[in-house]
Structure 1
Amino acid sequence: MVKKIVLAICCFATITLSAQNGTVSPYSFFGIGDLRSISTVENQMMGGLAMYTDSIHLNINNPASLGKIGPTIYAAAVSHRELRLETFSAEQNTSVTNLDYLAIALPLKVQRMGLNFGLKPFSSVGYNLLDERTNSSGNAVTNQFSGDGGINQLFLSAGFRLMPGLHLGATVNYHFGRLENNRQQTTEGVQFGTLDLRESQISGFDFNYALTYEPKISSKHTLFSSVRVRTQTNLTSENTQTIGTFVPLSGNEIEVFDVNLDEVNLRFTEIKIPTTYSFGLGIGEDKHWFVGGEYSLQQFSDYSSPFLEASNTRYEDASAIAFGGYFIPDYSSFDSYLKRVVYRAGLRLDNSGFVVNDKELSNFGITFGMGLPIGADFTNLNLGFELGRRGTTMNNLVRESYFKVSIGLSLNARWFLKRQIN
């Protein structure tokens, strides 16, 4: 009965959440929206570390982990985020719920070679902004900006063991989606307003390579090291633009026409997201504890998105640092369930390289959570929590404070088998 309930929750989440915007951030106005670094709940709660791998948990950002995979694993997660958006003069509370990922890992040869495929979001657009000013004639001018859509990512990974402790993996990612940005302007004393609607159909590929080396440094302890490279993402954008006039009171369009983007070479544009390099190092005792750190850098100053550029933005090189780990009191305990629970915690600091009004956006988060065993076949329910802050109230910007709750399921293939007595 418990299994049927959990499966029903997964199906319901997949159907209802797929139609929702992945963000409500005003910063998704810029470029291709919020770039979302999605990892499994287990990794998220260790500060977002992708370097740690083992044989019973899925790691969708480190394909080298597939060289260690044991059972077939089905994984899915949903998250809910409560946000407080602040400026110097105003404050607003909002929230958003998402389906974070769906993935399956298949061992081709147990703890030697495996495959992984799935779906997760890459970027999200979801904003509604109001800008009120006064023109030279003293009349109020109102600009309303709204947008939705996003880019999804289908991925296929393979990994294998080169030698004991040394694993190599690669991922091919296919990106696809639609972005819509709408601007409406009305002026006091003017009968009609103007509108500008832009749509982009996005598609493209990139690759992710990973190498992990985990030598034993004592009878109990293992050194964990990882190098990951995500190649430059080259996306093709097919763009359309419609401009015209409308009646502010009713919203009815009066006259609209399509802009000939071919004349200005903007019908088809290329979006370039630069290569990211990540390096991780940690130490741990198998099935007991682990602690580690990871550093990532990206030459984001080379970012390019011609059709979606904003006038008050520029790009600098980006970096991120994360620390985290886990602790299991006694994974084999028979008399105490709490001793078998995995306790995780971490923190992270992201310098996005994205500069708005001469201020770079940074994000700081503190994470913690638990992995709750279900049955005796390595199936677990993962609960995660994150407290964080992004942006600033300086230079007419918005500061986002958020609390995120994540629920992830990691289901072993044997969990679906019907037990029989011969």
Structure 2
Amino acid sequence: MTNKFYTFCLAILMVCISNYTMAQNNNTSSPFSAFGFGELSNKSTGRSNAMGGTAIGMRFRDQINPANPASYTARDSMSMVFEMGASGKQTRFASNGAVNNTNDSNFDYIALSFRIQNGIALAFGLQPYTNRGYSMSSTLKAGTTEEATVLYSGDGSVSKFFFGTGVKLFKNLSLGINANYYFGTLTTNSSSDFKQTLSSDIYFNNTNRIRGLGVDAGLQYQLDLDPEGKGPYMVFGATAKFNTKLKRDYDILRYYSNHNITSGGSVTSTNDTIQNMTGSSKDVNLPLGLGLGASYNVPNKLTLSADFYMEDWSDYNDNVGYATKDVTYGNRYIAAAGVEWIPEKFALRNYLKRISYRAGVRMEQDYIKINGNNINTYAVTAGIGLPIARQRSTLNIGVEFGTKGSSTSTTFKQDYTKLYISFALHDYWFFKRKID
């Protein structure tokens, strides 16, 4: 039992370390993250990432699925699953004929799950919720001769620590609830650099420290297509992320730097504060989110899955992003489908036959609109699940190719390639050995 205790302590330590790391770093370089509440993350984890992000109607025995907490009841009575994942992303941005390339690497999530008694299982972990990271510039004219270069930048992230439980209400019906604690910092900065020597450059900084509690829930029903319960089956799932208001502690600073010529001809600068305001308000509104999903499963052989998810951001009041009249907010939609195929899961001599082969597609309409135009993402995914030795642990590798936005209708377009790597480590906690 000592080794189990050390494993549990290690998992807690990793959660604490990743808690700090994810709260301090921005995980994107997208100009779209300048607006609203930033660039929202998907809820999917390792196995689901390679299947288009589908997860609402899927039950994993040896992996964790926080997208639908009802899936926690799939955990068997003697096992513990510890899972963590990371990703790397290469992006090509295009805007008004200009092209820029960026690379980001991120620690994505960490989670632990186990059953506490028959029909009841727990899970907890840490996931990103939204990210901000951008740097842009433009040239503005003031009057007939004066020009200014305006620099826009922002960074930060908001993470989500979840603690959830799944309960079997009946034999094939499960209910799950996640309690979520959101925390992090989002900043927005701008500076106006006038080209005239005798002018006042204007600087602006808005820092928002976000925190608060939220709840999401899920249902899953397993329909056995084989009377004996050993053949194909289907899973139908539904989720709801309830509306919540997060607290915002803010610091707003606006000042200008005035250039002056002294009697000796040198230029000096003096700073004068225009606005310096701090405060606290519970006004960051996260809207209701609803999702439906289904999967068709042939045990140890085939999984077909599909998801649909939506959120209504039309009433969102932007107080943490770059506010402009060209940007409005509306419905966010995600539609996805995926497949997993295993040639022969229990093949003794051929390792390639034991590998899980996965693929998927996803279409997403962002909650942000630019000049009345929706920002759409189209992506295809693929990946493999590599069994580790003769254990039930798995190394998941996935890749996603996608495009977001349009350089003509939404000003920016980004084409990206994203690599996912995750470990799902399985161990027996409650198995009593007769011989040690």
In the superposition, the TM-score normalised over structure 1's length comes to 0.89
Residue correspondences, number: 406
- Provide the C-alpha distance between the structure 2 equivalents of 1:69 and 1:203, rounded to a whole number of angstroms: 31
Q: Which residue of 2 aligns with 1:292?
A: 305
> Contact 2:130–2:157 (CA<8 Å) still a contact in 1?
yes
Sort the Cα spacing of 1:229 and 1:251 in 2 relative to 1 into closer, same or farther, 3 A.
Answer: farther
Q: Which residue of 2 aligns with 1:63?
A: 69
Equivalent position to 1:236, from 229, 236, 247 = 247
Which segments of 5 or more consecutive residues in structure 2 lack a partner in the other structure?
Answer: 1-13, 260-266
Which stretch has the larger CA shift, 296-305 or 117-126?
296-305
Sort the Cα spacing of 1:357 and 1:56 in 2 relative to 1 into closer, same or farther, 3 A.
Answer: same
- 1:368-390 per-residue CA deviation (whole Å, 9 max, x = no partner) reads 10010002221110001000011
> Contact 1:134–1:141 (CA<8 Å) still a contact in 2?
yes
Residue 155 of structure 2 aligns to which amino acid in structure 1? D
Q: Which residue of 2 aligns with 1:32?
A: 37
- How far does residue 192 in structure 1 lie from its aligned partner after superposition? 3.5
Q: How does 1:147-186 map to 2 (within 5 A)?
A: 147-186=154-193
- 1:203-256 per-residue CA deviation (whole Å, 9 max, x = no partner) reads 1121111111111123621012111111113212121111112379x9987233
Sort the Cα spacing of 1:20 and 1:391 in 2 relative to 1 into closer, same or farther, 3 A.
Answer: same
Q: CA RMSD in A?
A: 2.7
> Contact 2:374–2:410 (CA<8 Å) still a contact in 1?
no
- How far does residue 38 in structure 1 lie from its aligned partner after superposition? 3.5
Greater C-alpha radius of gyration:
2
Q: Which residue of 1 aligns with 2:11?
A: none
In the superposition, the TM-score normalised over structure 2's length comes to 0.87
Q: Which residue of 1 aligns with 2:123?
A: 116
The answer to whether 1:203 aligns with 2:203 is no
- How far does residue 17 in structure 1 lie from its aligned partner after superposition? 7.3
Equivalent position to 2:60, from 50, 54, 64 = 54
- How far does residue 181 in structure 1 lie from its aligned partner after superposition? 0.9
- Provide the C-alpha distance between the structure 2 equivalents of 1:274 and 1:414, rounded to a whole number of angstroms: 39
- Provide the C-alpha distance between the structure 2 equivalents of 1:208 and 1:299, rounded to a whole number of angstroms: 16
SS in 2 for 1:333: coil
Equivalent position to 1:336, from 328, 331, 350 = 350
- 1:369-420 per-residue CA deviation (whole Å, 9 max, x = no partner) reads 00100022211100010000111101461101000001001111249x9x99
> Contact 2:336–2:361 (CA<8 Å) still a contact in 1?
yes
SS in 2 for 1:184: strand
Q: Which residue of 2 aligns with 1:355?
A: 369
Residue 329 of structure 2 aligns to which amino acid in structure 1? Y
- Provide the C-alpha distance between the structure 2 equivalents of 1:252 and 1:72, rounded to a whole number of angstroms: 62
Q: Which residue of 1 aligns with 2:402?
A: 388
- How far does residue 139 in structure 1 lie from its aligned partner after superposition? 2.3
> Contact 1:83–1:403 (CA<8 Å) still a contact in 2?
yes
Sort the Cα spacing of 1:314 and 1:75 in 2 relative to 1 into closer, same or farther, 3 A.
Answer: same
- Provide the C-alpha distance between the structure 2 equivalents of 1:10 and 1:375, rounded to a whole number of angstroms: 26
- Provide the C-alpha distance between the structure 1 equivalents of 2:351 and 2:270, rounded to a whole number of angstroms: 63
Sort the Cα spacing of 1:382 and 1:413 in 2 relative to 1 into closer, same or farther, 3 A.
Answer: same
- Provide the C-alpha distance between the structure 2 equivalents of 1:238 and 1:16, rounded to a whole number of angstroms: 20
> Contact 1:68–1:113 (CA<8 Å) still a contact in 2?
no
Sort the Cα spacing of 1:120 and 1:169 in 2 relative to 1 into closer, same or farther, 3 A.
Answer: same
SS in 2 for 1:43: helix
Percent identical among aligned pairs is 25
Q: Which residue of 1 aligns with 2:388?
A: 374
Residue 37 of structure 1 aligns to which amino acid in structure 2? N
- Provide the C-alpha distance between the structure 1 equivalents of 2:258 and 2:127, rounded to a whole number of angstroms: 40
- How far does residue 352 in structure 1 lie from its aligned partner after superposition? 1.5
Which stretch has the larger CA shift, 33-42 or 366-375?
33-42
Q: Which residue of 2 aligns with 1:302?
A: 315
